[in-house]
């Protein structure tokens, strides 16, 4: 089955530690995205990548880092510099440049809690 997987579903971290969230897709999509979801805030874009080995900051990139070494993988690292990391994190992917609308497909999300 084609889709997007995120792991783990729940993640706990001690304050001051870095943690990496996994996102993998087998849809052969070029573009991938990371969003943060907080109550009442909707989805806010952290980072996105439209091609391997290239990525851009979104609206709230401070305290986060990403890499895009493979087309199917786009891991997100939440660093100790992120002041309020407890949130629900969503990964998405979309075709890029090949069709007009670039509909995004989402993974099931990871709930990160900082203790």
Partner 1 sequence: AQTVTQSQPEMSVQEAETVTLSCTYDTSESDYYLFWYKQPPSRQMILVIRQEAYKQQNATENRFSVNFQKAAKSFSLKISDSQLGDAAMYFCAYGRGGANSKLTFGKGITLSVRP
Say whether residue 108 binds partner 1 (CB under 8 A): yes
Q: How far is the CB of 43 from partner 1 (least distance, A)?
A: 4
| Among 18-26, 63-71, 76-84, 105-113, the segment contacting partner 1 (CB under 8 A) | 105-113
Say whether residue 82 binds partner 1 (CB under 8 A): no
Residue among 18, 62, 97, 113 that touches partner 1 (CB under 8 A): 97
Contact 81, 16 (CB under 8 A): no
What do you get for the CA distance between the two ends of the chain, in Å?
35
Say whether residue 1 binds partner 1 (CB under 8 A): no
Residue linked to tokens 């670039």: 102
Buried-exposed string 42-73: b where 16+ CB fall within 10 A, e elsewhere: eeebbbbbbeeeebeebebbeebbbebeebbe
Q: How far is the CB of 97 from partner 1 (least distance, A)?
A: 6
């Amino acid at each position: 089955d084609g889709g997007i997987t995120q792991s783990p579903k729940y993640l706990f971290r001690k304050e001051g530690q870095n943690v990496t969230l996994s996102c993998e897709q087998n849809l052969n999509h070029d573009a991938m995205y990371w969003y943060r979801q907080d109550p009442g805030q909707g989805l806010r874009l952290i980072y996105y990548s439209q091609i391997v080995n290239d990525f851009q900051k979104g609206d709230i990139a401070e305290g986060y880092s990403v890499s895009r070494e493979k087309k199917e993988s786009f891991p997100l690292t939440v660093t100790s510099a992120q002041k309020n990391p407890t949130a629900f994190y969503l990964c998405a992917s979309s075709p890029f440049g090949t069709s007009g609308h670039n509909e995004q497909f989402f993974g099931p999300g990871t709930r990160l809690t900082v203790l």
